[in-house]
Amino acid sequence: MRCPSCSHKDTNVMDSRVNSDGTSIRRRRKCPKCEERFTTYEYVEAVPLMVVKRDGRRQAFDRTRVLNGLIKACEKRPIGVEQIETMVDDIEHTIRKKYDREIFSKDIGEMVMARLSDLDEVAYVRFASVYRQFRDVNQFMNELQMILSKNKIKKLKKQKARVSK
């Protein structure tokens, strides 16, 4: 494995861990030349899963695109990179388990939004505004009102649970 900093041809593996579902290996590496530390992931090469875009084009599923979208949505939020990577692992695992050859980009977006809504409302709104292509403030406000209604329902359920105890 080449070092991403100095391109040295050989790096040392410091630590290896299998992810929770056993489908990938995370390796912490260190370059003996420049001392840079970095992480690599190994995945089983599977049959390529194609994503059907809104306009009908098809492209191979790329977990990096999901990861980058989540990183942008979670920027400056109290969400760790490990949480984001776990979410991407979970989404990819769900996709590969449920879909054989093709998935609509809409389905991937909905999976991401479902997980983000439970994790962080601000990140959810950021992602939703790009994913749903909000054209004006009204669409944005409708999404916020939906979040507020969900929060009211959650609070009522918690209060009801406390009262019944």
pLDDT tens digit sequence for 81-123: 999 999 999 999 999 889 989 999 999 999 999 999 889 989 9
pLDDT value of residue 129: 84
By the 10 Å C-beta count (0-12 exposed, 13-18 middle, 19+ buried), 80 is classed as exposed
Q: How confident is the model at residue 128 (pLDDT cuts 50, 70, 90)?
A: confident
Q: How many C-beta atoms surround the C-beta of residue 149 within 10 A?
A: 10
Supply the Cα-derived Rg of the chain in whole angstroms: 20
Domain-wise residue ranges, the chain: 8-44, 46-137
Is pTM beyond 0.75? Reply is no
Cβ 117 vs Cβ 109: under 8 Å: no
Q: How confident is the model at residue 135 (pLDDT cuts 50, 70, 90)?
A: confident
Query: Is the pLDDT higher at 162 or at 117?
Result: 117
pLDDT value of residue 140: 76
pLDDT digits (tens, 9 = 90+) for 1-54: 899 999 999 999 999 999 877 888 999 999 999 999 999 989 877 678 999 999
- pLDDT for 165 beyond 70: no
Residue with tokens 């260190």: 30
pLDDT digits (tens, 9 = 90+) for 46-90: 678 999 999 999 999 999 999 999 999 999 999 999 999 999 999
d(CA 13, CA 7) in angstroms, rounded, equals 16
Q: Quote the DSSP letter at residue 66.
A: H
Cβ 93 vs Cβ 23: under 8 Å: yes
Q: Percentage helix, strand, coil, to 5, in the chain?
A: 50, 20, 30
